[in-house]
Structure 1
């Protein structure tokens, strides 16, 4: 966890160690209580694994979800301090945890129900009349670059158009996902669409767009460009969706063969993707 002088970037008072950051950092005082958990601060253990095991035994199933989400949000906040120069606020991290839990609660509940009943729930949902739903996904290909898959469907569930793009660009996954949304917005505008709903399985991108977040790195520059372009629509909505409900776009983004450049289709997608389209059509709600 070293980032330079080994001093905790959150509190600036102690040596940075995972055992300190998650369970005893003064800069995060009140965090665990703020997310509704009574967690003992680290005092009698030297390694974070010991602390996690100690805490884990005292938590119920839902509390464990909140705990792991809290650890993720703390680490995410720490990285923003180190790499983006942001000021960490406990209230913001608490809100981040609650937003993540709220966004994923429905899809997690459906997954648990499927496990308990053995019946797979229906997936992709058709948009309202007059609205076009555009699913998008990006894949980071090892030693190759990035691949984007996009599919647009109307209220009848029928494919209106699809697209994939492969580029030799090295990107972080969240930047690749943001660029995929950018491409989708540009393509939708070029095709004259006015009312759209964008679905993506990258929660960080969707949250940044919904909350119009700003920052100084490449990711937030892309988000800013997307928001500027989105003003050209009559209406646009951003929605997080689990990968199982984003099958077609995911299939396009990861399908072989991998070839550089753009490929576009009107109505009929490649043969190896049609079974995914048919599945969504049959099971759409």
Structure 2
């Protein structure tokens, strides 16, 4: 019976994580966090003798998942900046903390919480590996930029061939459809690379989905998300003129 309960619990959480309109990488990350599968210093110290296990943010407390995402003073500033109530009963288990928080959130808070956890981990890794200065407000800005960009896209979920993807919007725009053979589809993406500038990517595809050409590069400037994507479109136009 306990096995059945565990399976139902897995389905309950995964179904809710997957239904939030955030990047797939964020969903995968939350699942790893719930499974205690992240390479926190606490997890790493159990495998490597002598490994330093202090939190890279505060450098004074053992870096467990609960400390990093709930208890650290840097994390407190991030959640307060995002107006997300991260407090919860101290049960000593990050999975139970996430489930408890989830039940008390509204729809927008689900996205903020998921992206917030992902952005904290991203910032934590930059502090360790890139010697970036600890800056909780940089995490807040990163989360708000990502969530605002996703909400501004007007995405809704449609089913195609057994999978779920985000296409179109509620104003009547159609979802995904195959291209006419003689047409070329261009995908663009842009994102802020903290401390480096803006990363831009462009991919050209044929009507049957073959990649024809692609490029990625970094601009040293940091702009608003709409400006980032506008620059990517400009690169598309410039390349089309040259060809």
The TM-score with structure 2 as length reference comes to: 0.51
Query: Which of residues 104, 108, 111 is equivalent to 2:156?
Result: 111
TM superposition shift of 1:110? 2.3
SS in structure 1 opposite 2:232?
A: strand
8 Å contact kept, 1:66–1:97: yes
How far, CA to CA, are the matches of 2:175 and 2:169 in structure 1?
15
SS in structure 2 opposite 1:57?
A: helix
TM superposition shift of 1:163? 3.5
TM superposition shift of 1:45? 1.6
Q: How is 1:182-193 mapped onto 2 (pairs within 5 angstroms)?
A: 182=217
**Corresponding residue for 1:181?**
216
TM superposition shift of 1:152? 8.8
Say whether 1:238 aligns with 2:216: no
How far, CA to CA, are the matches of 1:47 and 1:121 in structure 2?
43
**Corresponding residue for 1:23?**
70
How far, CA to CA, are the matches of 1:136 and 1:150 in structure 2?
7
**Corresponding residue for 1:94?**
140
Q: Which runs of 5+ in 2 are unaligned?
A: 1-39, 45-50, 159-166, 178-184, 190-200, 224-229, 234-241
Question: Which deviations, in whole Å up to 9, do the C-alpha atoms of 1:134-180 show, x marking residues without a partner?
Answer: 6468xxxxxxxxxx983299xxxx9xxx8348xxxxxxxxxxxxxx3
**Corresponding residue for 2:174?**
121
How far, CA to CA, are the matches of 2:142 and 2:85 in structure 1?
19
SS in structure 1 opposite 2:231?
A: strand
TM superposition shift of 1:21? 0.3
Query: Which of residues 199, 204, 221 is equivalent to 1:151?
Result: 204
How far, CA to CA, are the matches of 1:123 and 1:209 in structure 2?
34
How far, CA to CA, are the matches of 2:143 and 2:212 in structure 1?
34
8 Å contact kept, 2:77–2:137: no
**Corresponding residue for 2:32?**
none
Query: Which of residues 64, 78, 83 is equivalent to 1:36?
Result: 83
8 Å contact kept, 2:168–2:174: no
Higher relative contact order (CA 8 A, sep 6+): 1
**Corresponding residue for 1:63?**
109
Query: Which of residues 93, 114, 118 is equivalent to 1:72?
Result: 118
TM superposition shift of 1:105? 1.2
Question: Which deviations, in whole Å up to 9, do the C-alpha atoms of 1:15-69 show, x marking residues without a partner?
Answer: 11111100001233322111021221x5512111111011111001111111101
